[in-house]
Structure 1
Amino acid sequence: MSDLFPRLFASFGMRGHELRNRIGFAAMSCRLAAGGRATPALLKHLEARAAGGAAIVITEAMPAARSAATPTRVSAFSEDALPDLAAMAEVIARHGALPVGQLWHPGSANRGQRAVDAVGASAVPDGLSWTVPRILADAEIGALCEEYAETAHRLQRAGFAGVEVSAAHGFLPLQFLSPVSNLRQDRWGGDLWNRSRFLRNILALIRERCGPGFLVGLKMPADDGLPGSIDPEEAARITALIAAETPPDWFCYSQGTHGWSLGMHAPDQHAPPLLYRALWRRMRQAAGGVPVAAVARINHPAAAEELLSSGEADLVMLARPLLADPRWAEKARRNAPESIRPCLNCNACWGEINKGSPIACAVNPRAGGRDGDGLAPASAARHVVVVGGGPAGLQAAISAARRGRRVTLLSARAPGGAARMESALPGGASMAAFLDYLTAEATRSGVRTQQGIASPEAILALRPDAVVLATGASMARPTALQGSSTGLDLRTLLAAAPPGGGVAVLYDHDHTPGTYAAAEWLAGRYARLLLVTPRDSIAQDVPLLSAQGVHRRLARLGVEILPCRRLLRHEGRRLWLSHLLTGAEEEIEDVDLLTWSTPRQPRQELLAPLQAAGLEVHLAGDALAPRLMLSAIREGAETGEAV
């Protein structure tokens, strides 16, 4: 029991099972399976969350039917997968957590090219890929319900304590529930009773097939964000109907659907914590005593404790927080929340999955199947000097110190580097918390920090055995402005804090979240902001879930976006652009500010003199090559472990 979080660590009984606390690892796609089979990386990923103290570990969504098969998810619908499923259940259960498999069918939901083999309730296009599914026949729908039940029974035979049926995020059960995507006039469509028949049948058949001791959870939206679809009123009606007819063992409410509301299911750093608590409260009233699990933007144990103590939820499901730190629950139980590695809510994890890569985390360098790997202790005493106090430098220093190295960190300013500047922009609170964590963790790990400008002589005077240069990078001046003193790069501008004015132009040759946070900041200081980019649209290097928010916020602020343009010249208060597709020149008058966010150039001035002095020198982060936070943290860890 935790003194700080007694409700969070109170046990909870559920259908004959005793949960050791109220914390679950929520289903989270990870792309760690291969060929429909479990891999060692997938098993390690699941085991780490169980070993970290979660009471329930829910697998990523697994295909409940053959028509949902995909090679990067374990083929739970197939008897051939039974050994893999048993291995998954065992690595979870051996640490005292309940293994739960999520059952999934995408239907028409697709984020890539239009799927030619998609099935659905009606011939309504998916909101993202515009996939139009083949309409399922009556007999096929009944057979799908049977497949769900058979897959659940297979999981039961493999040692799983239960399943969670996914009827969220635009997947097939939600396509039946929603009057927007279900236009049928037969027994599977029309009024709510018929539209919910597919889901109710699945739940009833699983219960019948697996018996009373098997857990059956349900994930659905309390608001899918699509006009005319599942709003809170409709969600409450669905909840009450299912609770009375085929009650699950818990409802878990995750918002959004395929389309412009997809980002609702993983709100990013611009959203406030616990932003859905009013929805959870309302659904709990409709649930008729069925436990309600809250999910999304529950980062801190204190927030989870508040939810449970107020009666707004019975359980908390954590996905991104347990990816960032699989030992989140254990650290909270030990009354040490300050040692939890905080999630940025940046959705880099989702971005990796969406582009076809295995899951990764911007703050956890071991995510994606390496959690739990121990650091090899240092074989000999060495003094490692890390130059640069940004995220890569801090992580390198921490990793080296944890191996047993003596580490000195040289930082030109307060630890955090250029990321500290970004943390002061809109949505930057999560970044500030992470930088504070890294700084404190460096101190806890025994890193000695010195502030000031590092020179070759100062570094040599420390008599290091190895040096890590994490000195960052500088924004390059746009080609059209070479040899000119006009304008300021975005980082210099932010440090100068301009007073504001009439017209500002931001040249976006970067396409990362920090640029758009700065655009919001500028829009609050200038009467008119033009965002100019050589690409055909903005935010192309931002994960889709967060990119939707970028577009929405900039549109609300009235920011004018000019795609397919390059800078030609800037004279006084006049700026000329060239349209990359037509070659036409455009003139913008009365420009009070020109700034840019451009590809960066690594700062490597210290490399040659240190190598000439015979030192072992490693480059990390932007000093090696400009990169995103995810790569910088991972590289910092790998470098710190190697020196």
Structure 2
Amino acid sequence: MAHAPPAMPLAWRRICATIRGMSNPFPRLLAPFAMRGHAWRNRVGFAAMSCRLAAGGRATPALLNHLEARAAGGAAVVITEALPAARSAATPTRVSAFSEEALPDLGAMAEVIARHGALPVGQLWHPGSANRGQRAVDAVGASAVPDGLSWTVPRILADAEIEALCGEYAETARRLQRAGFAGVEVSAAHGFLPLQFLSPVSNLRQDRWGGDLWNRSRFLRDILALIRERCGPGFLVGLKMPADDGVAGSIDPEEAARITALIARETPPDWFCYSQGTHGWSLGMHAPDQHAAPLPYRALWRRMRQAAGGVPVAAVARINHPAAAEELLASGDADLVMLARPLLADPQWVEKARRGAPETIRPCLNCNACWGEINKGAPIACAVNPRAGGRDTGGAAPLAEARHVVVVGGGPAGLQAAIAAARQGRRVTLLSARAPGGAARLEAALPGGASMAAFLDYLVAEATRAGVAVRQGIASPDSILALRPDTVVLATGAAMVRPAGLRDSRSGLDLRALLAAPPPGGALAVLYDHDHTPATYAAAEWLAARYSRLLLVTPRDSIAQDVPLLSAQGVHRRMARLGVEILTCRGLLRHEARRLWLTHLLTGAEEVIEGLDLLTWSTPRQPRQALLAPLQAAGLAVHLAGDALAPRLMLSAIREGTEIGEAA
């Protein structure tokens, strides 16, 4: 099938091939160094990542567990999620660092990080006008320019208010220092308030805070200077900003280099960390998904390092493998690496690299499910790490009772259940109708599927390491009973249902069947999208390469509504570039020969599409539960996992597989 996952780059393969038996397999990545008297045990930091684990502005046990796990996993620096630097930035799901009442909470956060040898760093943040929900009525900003996502128009800050904000940043930094933090990182990225001052698009002021670069950077430079003045020379001060915010006339690489050089000269931070994009259509740049190449901003990091005047430059975004990080540092394109999603997926990432076992790192899918959870108001979670979100410390204790668990279904839920049960000391047999990986193997062969392929390979390898016995073939009640199981886990997946308008027809076929037996191509294809998840749009790309014209038809009023916003922006962009035609609010009426009838769901009007070469659909799925009743009738304890219980996303399937496997 086309679009097979790309091989690991040659330079990274060479590094991996030479690490076995080495005492220090990644010498640059794991090299200790000193900064302002603080000892960094390696060159890896856990990058700031919103997690929504605080409550009422206070730290919770889940938040402390989340931070501690990344420190215990070997990161040299653990940067908190963005903390409100001023009272006007307060939000209940972030610890109120601007308040003296938060001092005990901040102290607890610093302590759980430092106890494992990592340096605690708090990120200082103010959203200004940046908002992702409804238009905010209390937003403030440099000028009355609408936010690029919510269209919030902020109240213009007065001169005295800006000065007071600079002071609040410094006082919050001092409070963090008193709480035991080694330093702070000032966020001037992602469209937040300092970037709103830096950008000539959002800063239209003509006073000392706007106009030329010197004045537009004054707010940020004053913040940095005041923090240094109040916290002293031994306190770490980092700066996060974009090397390209993706907005015409705003902060392009040339402007970013000028800002970098100016700040490095006037108010030098201890490191620059470059994260791209801003609040608007370029927001997705800051967390490039599975469709982006690894190290996508390498040229930008190299250019900013040249402008930084010797200040270390930290790279962040799609640095998934220790070999990639090692090669990046060896090239001189960056001095440090900051990892967010990879350390959410596996907090032991650094420790596993140190042990020379990178193949045991749970790979990040780059799917942005983590961001999607927090964006919809839920605590952070991870599609591949069932314990993310404050559940990372520990796990279920192994069980002494010897039991035989049979898992039917080799997809992600089944593999995860088998691994979890085996780690509990169970004897586990996995029955898989095809090569382990299930229907997810079809997705792994689509555009952007390399991350999924890597994760499936990881699950298969983990099952082998855990001692799971894998048998391939179609399972029946008799073949399962012949294994004499004590418990059965059915992870048999689900099947796409035929669209309502085609129930009396045998024409067309579902997307999974199409991918399993690719057609030769043609002039016109129609993909009915009743799914709205990333795999459907990867399949649309695959179809667009085979058909001269592709119509994407959906009963909703837009596409990609179940894709996290960061990745949904990429979906819309790719569909537009490929010339995919999108018909919204349409249902299927009937299909005869090469003609397809649609109905507009709002007006009731009928439309006819002529000359159709292919009709396929991606629809809600029906669980496959045919084995359930016979096994229960035989007296077996049977658990349903993943799509076999009810169709769900990877995040739920992996978490559920873990819970069922541990309890089996």
The answer, yes or no, to whether TM exceeds 0.5 is yes
Report SS of the residue matched to 1:591. coil
- Secondary structure, in 3 states, of the residue corresponding to 2:571? helix
The question of 1:459 aligning with 2:480 is answered yes
Supply the AA of the counterpart residue of 2:137. Answer: V
Q: Which residue of 2 aligns with 1:8?
A: 29
Partner residue, 2:308: 287
2:527 paired residue among 488, 496, 506 = 506
Matches within 5 A, 1:119-518: 119-518=140-539
Kindly state the Cα deviation for residue 13 of structure 1 after the two structures are TM-superposed: 1.1
Distance 1:580 1:2, change over 3 A: farther
For the residues of structure 2 that align with 1:275 and 1:105, how far apart are their CA atoms? 27
1:575-590 aligned at under 5 Å gives the runs 575-590=596-611
Cα distance in structure 2, aligned partners of 1:626 and 1:275: 33
Confirm or deny: 8 A CA contact 1:2 1:9 kept in the other structure. Answer: no
Q: Deviations over 1:324-349 (max 9, x none)?
A: 00000000000000000000000000
Q: Which amino acid aligns with 2:251?
A: I
Deviation (angstroms), 1:376: 1.3
Alpha-carbon separation, structure 1, partners of 2:394 and 2:496: 36
Q: C-alpha deviations, 1:119-152, integer Å up to 9, x for none?
A: 0000000000000000000000000000000000
| Aligned residue identity for 1:331 | K
For 1:377 and 1:635, the matched residues in 2 are separated by: 18
Instruction: Give the 5 Å matches for 1:13-32.
Output: 13-32=34-53
Of residues 626, 629, 650, the one that matches 1:605 is 626
- Aligned partner of residue 417 in structure 2, secondary structure: helix
Match of 2:69 in 1: 48
- Runs of 4+ with >2 A deviation: 1-4
The equivalent of 1:530 in structure 2 is 551
2:585 pairs, out of 546, 549, 564, with: 564
Report the secondary structure of 1:578's partner residue.
strand
CA distance in 2, matches of 1:305, 1:180: 37
Give the structure 1 partner of residue 571 of structure 2. 550
| Corresponding residue SS for 2:197 | helix
1:472-525: CA deviation from partner (whole Å, max 9, x where unpaired): 000000011112110000000111111100100000000000000000000000
- SS of 2:111's equivalent? helix
SS at match of 2:551: strand
In 2, distance between residues paired with 1:452 and 1:473? 17
Residue 638 of structure 2, aligned match among 617, 624, 630: 617
What is the rounded CA distance, in whole Å, between the counterparts of 1:555 and 1:2 in structure 2? 50
1:373-412 per-residue CA deviation (whole Å, 9 max, x = no partner) reads 2321113000000000000000000000001000000000
Instruction: Give the SS at the match of 1:395.
Output: helix
Pick from 114, 117, 120: which aligns with 1:93?
Answer: 114
Residue 97 of structure 1 aligns with an amino acid whose one-letter code is: A
Q: For residue 372 of structure 1, report the CA deviation from its aligned partner.
A: 1.5
What corresponds to 1:82 in structure 2? 103
**CA–CA separation in structure 2 for the residues paired with 1:482 and 1:569:** 9
For 1:65 and 1:216, the matched residues in 2 are separated by 17
Alignment of 1:98-113 (within 5 A): 98-113=119-134
One-letter code aligned to 2:46: F
> Gaps (5+ residues) in structure 1?
none
Whole-Å Cα distance in 1 between the matches of residues 647 and 497 of structure 2?
Answer: 12
TM superposition shift of 1:370: 0.5
The alpha-carbon deviation at position 12 of structure 1 amounts to 1.5
Checking the alignment, whether the CA contact within 8 Å between 1:2 and 1:332 is kept in structure 2 is no
AA in 2 matched with 1:135? I
Deviation at 1:27, TM superposition (A): 0.1
**SS of the residue aligned with 2:121?**
strand
In the alignment, is the contact (CA less than 8 A) between 2:505 and 2:591 conserved in 1? no
Tell me how far 1:550 sits from its aligned partner: 0.3
Whole-angstrom CA distance in 2 between matches of 1:2 and 1:425: 39
Contact 1:47 1:91 in 2 (8 A): yes
Secondary structure at 1:604 match in 2: coil
Letter in 2 for 1:516: Y
Distance 1:558 1:25 in 2: 39
**Aligned to 2:165, what secondary structure does the other structure show?**
helix
What residue identity is the alignment partner of 1:35?
G
Hey, what's the Cα distance between the residues in 1 that align with 2:306 and 2:400?
59
Which deviates more, 376-385 or 218-227?
Answer: 376-385
CA deviations over 1:557-595 (Å, ceiling 9, x no partner): 000000000001101100010001111100000000000
Contact 1:99 1:161 in 2 (8 A): yes
Return the alpha-carbon distance in structure 1 between the equivalents of residues 499 and 487 of structure 2: 36
- Report if aligned partners of 1:62, 1:75 keep a CA contact under 8 Å in 2: yes
1:109 match: secondary structure: coil
Q: Distance in 2 between matches of 1:64 and 1:3?
A: 39
Please tell me whether the aligned partners of residues 246 and 276 of structure 2 are also in contact (alpha carbons under 8 angstroms).
yes
Q: Residue by residue, what CA displacement relative to the aligned partner does 1:430-460 show, whole Å, maximum 9, x if unpaired?
A: 0000000000000000000000000000000
Q: Which residue of 2 aligns with 1:632?
A: 653
Q: Residue type matched to 1:606 in 2?
A: L
CA distance in structure 1 between the partners assigned to 2:247 and 2:100 by the alignment = 37
CA-to-aligned-CA distance 1:11-43 (integer Å, 9 cap, x gap): 121111110000000000000000000000000
Residues of 2 paired with 1:392 and 1:85: CA distance? 38
- RMSD over aligned CA atoms reads 0.6
Is contact 1:64–1:147 with CA below 8 Å preserved after alignment? yes
SS in 1 for 2:613: strand
Is the contact between residue 109 and residue 126 of structure 1 (CA under 8 Å) also seen in structure 2?
A: yes
SS at match of 2:53: coil
Once the two structures are TM-superposed, the CA of residue 2 in structure 1 deviates from its matched residue by: 5.0
| C-alpha distance in 2 between matches for 1:530 and 1:624 | 32
Which residue identity is paired with 2:45? G
In the alignment, the residues of structure 2 paired with residue 466 and residue 521 of structure 1 have an alpha-carbon distance, to the nearest angstrom, of 40
Amino acid at match of 1:265: H
Q: Contact 2:553/2:582 (CA < 8 Å) preserved in 1?
A: yes
Structure 1 distance, partners of 2:302, 2:37, is 26
Distance in structure 1 (CA, Å) of the matches to 2:169 and 2:77: 21
Separation (CA, whole Å) in 2 of partners of 1:550 and 1:357: 23
Gaps of 5+ in 2: 1-21
| Aligned residue pairs, count | 643
Instruction: Give the Cα–Cα distance (whole angstroms) in 1 for the partners of residues 177 and 455 of structure 2.
Output: 40
Does the 8 Å contact 2:447/2:538 carry over to 1? yes
Residues of 2 paired with 1:467 and 1:13: CA distance?
Answer: 54
- Matched AA of 2:388: A
The letter of the residue matching 2:510 is: D
Distance 2:611 2:331 in 1: 55
> Aligned partner of 1:551: which letter?
H
Distance 1:494 1:403 in 2: 37
Give CA deviations for 1:292-325 in whole Å, capped at 9, x if unaligned: 0000000000000011111111110000000000
